[in-house]
Amino acid sequence: MSFSCRREAAYRSRCTIRHFVPAGQQRKPLALRSISWSPAIVVRPPDRSFRGIDAPPRVNAIFEFLFKYSPVMYSRGTLTFAAGIPGWPLLLAAPLAVLGVAVWSYRRAGGALRLGDRLLLGSMRALALALLAFCLLRPMLAVSTAIPQRNVVGVVVDDSKSMRIVDRDSLSRARRVLELVGSADSALVRALAERFQIRFFRTSGAGGRTSDLAGLQFDASRTRLIPALTQAEDELAGAPVAGLVLLSDGADNSSTVVGEPGLAEQLLALRARGIPVYAVGIGSEELARDLEVARLDVPHAVLKDGAMSVEVIVTQRGYAGRKVPVVVEDGGRIVGSREVTLPRDGEAVVTRIRIPTSERGARAISVRVPVQPGEMVAENNERRTLVDVRDRREKILYIEGEPRFELKFLRRAVENDANLQVVTLLRSAKDKFLRLSVDDSVELASGFPRAREELFAYRAIVLGSIEAGFFTLDQLRMLSDFVSVRGGGLLALGGRSSLAEGGYEGTPLADVLPVDLSGPPRDTTTADEVALSPTAAGLLHPAMQLAGTDSGTAERWRTMPHLTMVNGVGRPKPGTTVLLEGKLSDSATTRARLPVFSFERFGRGKSAVFAVQDSWLWQMAEEVPIEDLSHETFWKQVLRWLVSDVPDRLEVIAPDESGPGEGIVVRAAVSDAAYLRANGASVQVTVNGGSPIPLEWAADRDGEYRTTVVPDGEGVQELRVRTVIGRDTLVSEPAYVRVASPMAEFFGAAMRPGLLRQVAEETGGRYYDAGDAMRLAKDIVYSASGATVVERHDLWDMPAIFLVLLAALATEWWWRRRRGLA
């Protein structure tokens, strides 16, 4: 078989096909000897979805060699046919005709060929004929193309501080950007200027036009990529815009600014504008040598004269196996340090350092790791945050149904803690109560509170061995609302009249507790001895820390005396965290470990169960040294944790840090005495004791008020909110905001292609590596945005068709010769 084709006019060609039969038979051409046609367009349904093609440059080059045009053209284009006869009927009839010709051509071979040979040879011939039929239909690619010099392209340059990082070919990212678009003679600018008018924009501030890219300082402290793209589109409104070109390392941190919409909302608004973004990633996806304090976790607020755990996550690349110190400072004074061994490249090491909270107010906590030789980024070796150390007395209501040692020793354990007030209601006999640590003669005078306002004045509640029948149904519901609505902490202790044995199953409180109370109550006349051990979560929890280090805490728990239980504790509910497990001392038992201390978040608050009845043995057991303070430490930490994060009636919500000149969005949540959100209050905020600034009610949320303040200067800013609601005047605890130049640019400093790809895909553009950026100038020509014209390109002469046709004919010839037919 032979094939020849010549073009006679722009849309007219003539092709000749000759078919050769086996040796010994007459050679004659097929009916399709010579065909000519004029254009008759048959348009296939286009696929307008374009998600970008991020193949390596070499793969793209191979694709263009085989298929004539770039992958972008195929993604944007529509397949058409320029045939003189209707195309769709011919497409339907062609497979049948090709199959018939292939079957007929080998029918005369008859028994000389096996079935497998006939199938192979027929398939090769059918493939060759199908390719020829496809070529005779004159396939074309119709694609929208930008009209030269009728469209505008906006070039948006990331001029943030992270662009100063030197990470590839000993060039800074900023230098790489300037090589591409820094002047009219830059490579990418020249390529774009051949077909487009170019406008330049920056990302610093709110974004905007710039005429001198070479004069950019690359000193912006934040990167707001999507707001900058939106600003560029706004400034180009009314002009035919083919697309935006974004050159960045992808280190967007606009979503970390309180008051700005999240990334998803920003992308949705950008996509709705319909202008494609062609993103160019500047920098390396991995830094060869870098050490980073990736995360710093501390409580937002803690009580004075305690200890808090500082959790630090350090990542590294290029320093595996090296030992480095992690140093914690409070206001420039070293308060803790620990040496860690760095893991393999790309892995993280976690360490926890306990530091004292001996001074009240805003504590400037910083964690740093010394800069190592050869580090590419030194700014990410330190993180800073603020911790509010509060010096106030937290009221906890402890209600006990019978005199017992657990109450006595718990109160003794915390009696010297000036920040804890354990108000006690002890039923000493029927309808007789002993009140301890009350503020006045009126408090709890009528027994357990019957009004929400009275109960909700406490920050936490401890339920001792007291049966559910002691409470009315309304009081049980109030206890449930104390956790879910008020946001308080609830701790249920083990005892003869506690949990399921106290009849709490089926009550409103059963839904609040973290363990299942279903099942028959057990006999409380006998007790099980249990050995307690912390779970993996327990070893990390601040309430379970009995020593200064994790290893010291684990060792101390191994030597703690055994306790006893009289309650049958059910399975933990979904979402429950078990901190302490109990194993029965009887080694013959096959029962699983029991959840002795567990907690869960419930609504706005938290609930916990400590199912033993005699933790006082940790103080009084004969094997416990008299100087051992584990019992006191345990209960101080448990009760301090129980009242942590419990909301006040007036709560101030503000970011931990802000940049100089940036507005701080201040929100205040106001509740009445029953902790129901209150609208119609008068709310004001002061900054560092200055003039009051009114807050406006947020119509979308009950009881929330908002405003924006811009502090003068840098440093720690103190925010206090005052509100008048009815007859009550409330003043909030201070909220602190550190105003300083943000350093977020240097954390996760490697180039982040994920966001850039997402922006490109969501808008219909494409992502490019910096080394492949010159392809952008070719691809943006086929943007569907702006002023365009439809161009049609021939597909019949693709090298891929010729190579496949040649392979099919060669395979047929080789197999025929092998079978003696040629």
pLDDT (tens digit, 9 = 90+) per residue, 305-323? 999 999 999 999 999 999 9
Domain tally, the chain: 5
Query: Which of the residue ranges 38-42, 100-104, 727-731 would you say has the lowest mean pLDDT?
Result: 38-42
- The answer to whether residue 57 sits within a structural domain is yes
Q: Which of 435, 355, 394 is nearest to 636 (CA)?
A: 394
pLDDT surpasses 50 at 277 = yes
250 torsion bin: left (phi>0), alpha (psi -120 to 50), beta (else): left
- In this prediction, residue 131 has a pLDDT band, given cuts at 50, 70 and 90, of confident
The pLDDT value recorded for residue 330 is 94
- In this prediction, residue 580 has a pLDDT band, given cuts at 50, 70 and 90, of very high
The pLDDT value recorded for residue 39 is 36
- In this prediction, residue 97 has a pLDDT band, given cuts at 50, 70 and 90, of low
Whether the CB-CB separation of 81 and 134 falls below 8 Å is answered with no
Cα gap 31→29, rounded to integer Å: 7
- The answer to whether residue 8 sits within a structural domain is no
Mean pLDDT value across residues 589-594: 66
Q: Are strands 605-610 and 489-493 parallel, antiparallel or unpaired?
A: parallel
**Crossing angle (nearest 10°) for helices 263-272 and 753-763:** 30
Q: Which of 350, 371, 390 is the last residue in one of the domains?
A: 390
- The answer to whether residue 762 sits within a structural domain is yes
- In this prediction, residue 17 has a pLDDT band, given cuts at 50, 70 and 90, of very low
Q: Which of 367, 390, 413 is the last residue in one of the domains?
A: 390
- In this prediction, residue 130 has a pLDDT band, given cuts at 50, 70 and 90, of confident
227 with 317, same domain: the answer is: no
- In this prediction, residue 619 has a pLDDT band, given cuts at 50, 70 and 90, of very high
Whether the CB-CB separation of 242 and 786 falls below 8 Å is answered with yes
625 with 657, same domain: the answer is: no
163 with 111, same domain: the answer is: no
- The answer to whether residue 816 sits within a structural domain is no
Mean pLDDT value across residues 595-607: 96
Q: Any idea what the CATH number is for the domain that residue 228 is in?
A: 3.40.50.410
Mean pLDDT value across residues 24-46: 35
Whether the CB-CB separation of 68 and 795 falls below 8 Å is answered with yes
- Rg, Å, the chain Cα set: 38
- The answer to whether residue 817 sits within a structural domain is no
- The answer to whether residue 814 sits within a structural domain is no
What tokens appear for 609 in the block?
A: 């169960």
Q: Which of 338, 368, 390 is the last residue in one of the domains?
A: 390
272 with 224, same domain: the answer is: yes
Question: Residue 138: helix, strand or coil by DSSP?
Answer: coil
Whether the CB-CB separation of 302 and 644 falls below 8 Å is answered with yes
pLDDT surpasses 50 at 285 = yes
Whether the CB-CB separation of 651 and 678 falls below 8 Å is answered with no
162 with 75, same domain: the answer is: no
Mean pLDDT across the chain, nearest whole number? 86
405 with 491, same domain: the answer is: yes
251 with 267, same domain: the answer is: yes
Whether the CB-CB separation of 622 and 563 falls below 8 Å is answered with no
581 with 433, same domain: the answer is: yes
Q: Any idea what the CATH number is for the domain that residue 316 is in?
A: 2.60.40.10
Q: Which amino acid is at 210?
A: T
Cα gap 385→383, rounded to integer Å: 7
- Per-range mean pLDDT, top range of 207-211, 238-242, 561-565: 561-565
556 with 695, same domain: the answer is: no
Beta-strand ranges (E) seen in 710-780 are 715-725, 728-731, 735-739, 766-769
The Cβ of residue 690 has, within 10 Å, a number of other Cβ atoms equal to 12
- The answer to whether residue 1 sits within a structural domain is no
Mean pLDDT value across residues 81-105: 60
pLDDT surpasses 80 at 383 = yes
Q: Any idea what the CATH number is for the domain that residue 533 is in?
A: 3.40.50.880
- The answer to whether residue 11 sits within a structural domain is no
114 with 50, same domain: the answer is: yes
Calculate what percentage of the chain has a pLDDT beyond 90.
Answer: 59
622 with 495, same domain: the answer is: yes
Cα gap 734→625, rounded to integer Å: 42
The pLDDT value recorded for residue 736 is 96
| HEC string for 519-579 | CCCCCCCCCEEEEEEECHHHHHCHHHCCCCCHHHHHHHHHCCCCEEECCCCCCECCCCEEE
| HEC string for 594-620 | EEEEEEEEECCEEEEEECCCCCCHHHH
The pLDDT value recorded for residue 103 is 60
pLDDT surpasses 50 at 502 = yes
Q: Which of 76, 24, 82, 84 is nearest to 50 (CA)?
A: 76
Mean pLDDT value across residues 413-441: 94
592 with 458, same domain: the answer is: yes
| Beta bridge mates, 766 | 278
Tens-digit pLDDT profile for residues 176-229: 999 999 888 898 999 999 999 999 999 887 678 888 888 888 988 888 888 888
| Beta bridge mates, 348 | 315
Cα gap 723→682, rounded to integer Å: 5
Cα gap 35→16, rounded to integer Å: 7
What is the model's pTM? 0.78
Give me the domain span that covers residue 693. Answer: 650-742
- In this prediction, residue 586 has a pLDDT band, given cuts at 50, 70 and 90, of low
Mean pLDDT value across residues 333-339: 94
